[in-house]
Amino acid sequence: MHSFGYRANAVLTFAVTILAVICTIASISDNFNSATPTAEVQVSNINWFQKQPNGDDVVGLTLNISANLQSLFTWNTKQVFVFLAAEYETPQNSLNQVSLWDGIIPAKEHAKFVIQTTNKYHFTDQGSNLRGKEFNLTLHWHVMPKTGKMSANRIVMTGYRLPDKYR
């Protein structure tokens, strides 16, 4: 006859194995979700556009952000981290990214939103490269599952341009 410790070890090992199998199945099932998020961002106002004393350009924007990210949520989604970035090129760098706004969406009910906000973080360029500069606004998201690997994607919106003169 087996001792209590041996039996407890067998039951615990079996339970952990079953839990690992269930977590693996949950993680694999997310691959069958075809997400179709939508987003639109409008720059409703350029509040200020200045050159700082240290030579950097800095911009303040009013943004209208509307997005429907509900398709990113499955039964395995814990939360979605979303952020809006301005992306542009300069002679020094082929890609500059500046985060303007971010948020955490805890549930599917909050994943469809329309907000008007100013940029949460300064749109700053180290140098005088922003006058007359064309830029893209990109909505990035990172899906954080309850189990499995994180996934990330983005929607790029083109056709934005800063003024030629400081305000």
34-161 has which fold? Answer: Immunoglobulin-like (2.60.40)
Q: Is the Cβ–Cβ distance between 158 and 89 less than 8 Å?
A: no
Whether the pLDDT of residue 30 is over 80: the answer is no
- Could you write out the DSSP letters of every residue in 93-108? -S-EEEEEEEEEE-SG
CB hemisphere CA count around 22 (13 angstroms) = 8
Instruction: Please tell me which residue, 125 or 33, carries the higher pLDDT value.
Output: 125
Q: Where are the domains of the chain?
A: 1-32, 34-161
| Res 1: pLDDT | 65
Q: So what's the pLDDT on residue 78?
A: 95
Condensed to tens digits (0 to 9), the pLDDT of residues 109-132 reads 999 999 999 999 999 998 888 999
Confidence category of residue 25, pLDDT binned at 50, 70, 90: confident
